[in-house]
Structures are given as structure tokens and as C-alpha cells.
């Protein structure tokens, strides 16, 4: 079944935008941005119970590491919580919802999952911390040359990933 939808939307800068959408019924894909955002938060639970238990266990481990990272300087928090969300989205809607609705970290995780990015301030801080800690490790803390090279390469990959693959939100302080 095919449905044509004609609607208008206020853009906020004193302009109206007319939208024409085509919607197919009996589909497996979202047609509007709102549906896409909602589908991102629906768990795709694995059928295998052993895999599900494994995903939940690994997700809880990442939540624990993220909680430790909130207290211990130098240990990341958000990375572990993003990994926990990825584990929970494959295993448990309840645990995923619990993580996404967290008062402190939930909004950041939700924005990241929806593709809205992280605040520019957080992105800059992440890049600066990568440079500081990798530089310290490579030049002062590690004695073995092979491990220095390995840590330096991993740091470069991390810097590249955060720079080019992690989107930044439009404003400098998106959630502050």
C-alpha cells in the first residue's frame, strides 16, 4: 500500500517548509526521521540464550568500568558506556533503557546513538586527553620500543577516529 503525505513544518527562523513524504506499508524500514530515532532505541535481542547472557555480562562489565572511569582520572567513562549500550541493545531492552535514561550519561548516549554527535567541547577534550596520555606513555612511561610503537599507533587511530568519525553536535556546549 502506498500513501502520500503532504505536511508543513516550522523551521524556527520564520520560514515554513513543505514536506512531501511517500510511505509504503508492509515495510521493514523507517520513513521519517522520528521513526529512525525511535528504531535506534529498540533492542534487537539475539535468539541464542547463551549469546544473550554473554552480551549482558560484557555490558555489565563495561558499565562497571565506566563507573570506575567516572572516579579514576585518565580512565574513560563514555567509551565504556557506549560499548555497554551496544551490548545491551543486543540482549536486553530493560538494561538498555536503564542506561539511556540515566540522569548523567543518558542524554549523551542517546544523542550518540541517534547520530547527533557529542558536544564539541567534549570532542576537543577527548582529543587533547588522547594526545597528552599517549605522548606521556610513549615518551616517558614505556621503556620497550615495540610497545611504544604499538601504543603510538593505537593513539593515532583513536585520534583519527574521534576527529573524523565521531560527529560533533552543532553547539559548543550542547548539553551543558
pLDDT at residue 66 in the model: 86
pLDDT at residue 170 in the model: 65
pLDDT band at 131 (very low <50, low <70, confident <90, very high): very high
Chain-centroid distance, C-alpha 121: 16
- Write the CA distances from 25 to 3, 4, 7, 41, 42, integer angstroms: 8, 11, 19, 21, 20
Whether the predicted pLDDT of 112 surpasses 50:
yes
pTM of model > 0.85: no
Take residue 36 and report the three cell numbers written for it: 529512525
Strand residue runs (E) in 38-140: none
Q: From 42, 133, 33, select the one nearest 85 (Cα to Cα).
A: 42
Amino acid at each position: 500500500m502506498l500513501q502520500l503525505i503532504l505536511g508543513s513544518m516550522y523551521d524556527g527562523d520564520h520560514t515554513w517548509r513543505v514536506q512531501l513524504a511517500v510511505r509504503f506499508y508492509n515495510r521493514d524500514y523507517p520513513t521519517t526521521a522520528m521513526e529512525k530515532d525511535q528504531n535506534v532505541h529498540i533492542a534487537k535481542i539475539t535468539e541464542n540464550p547463551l549469546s544473550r547472557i554473554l552480551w549482558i555480562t560484557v555490558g555489565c562489565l563495561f558499565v562497571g568500568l565506566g563507573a570506575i572511569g567516572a572516579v579514576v582520572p585518565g580512565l574513560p567513562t563514555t567509551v565504556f558506556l557506549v560499548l555497554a549500550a551496544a551490548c545491551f541493545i543486543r540482549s536486553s531492552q530493560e538494561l538498555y533503557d536503564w542506561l539511556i535514561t540515566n540522569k548523567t550519561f543518558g542524554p549523551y548516549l542517546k544523542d550518540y546513538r541517534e547520530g547527533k554527535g557529542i558536544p564539541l567541547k567534549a570532542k576537543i577534550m577527548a582529543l587533547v586527553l588522547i594526545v597528552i596520555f599517549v605522548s606521556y606513555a610513549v615518551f616517558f612511561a614505556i621503556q620497550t620500543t615495540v610497545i611504544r610503537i604499538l601504543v603510538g599507533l593505537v593513539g593515532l587511530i583513536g585520534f583519527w577516529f574521534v576527529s573524523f568519525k565521531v560527529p560533533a553536535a552543532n553547539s559548543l556546549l550542547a548539553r551543558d
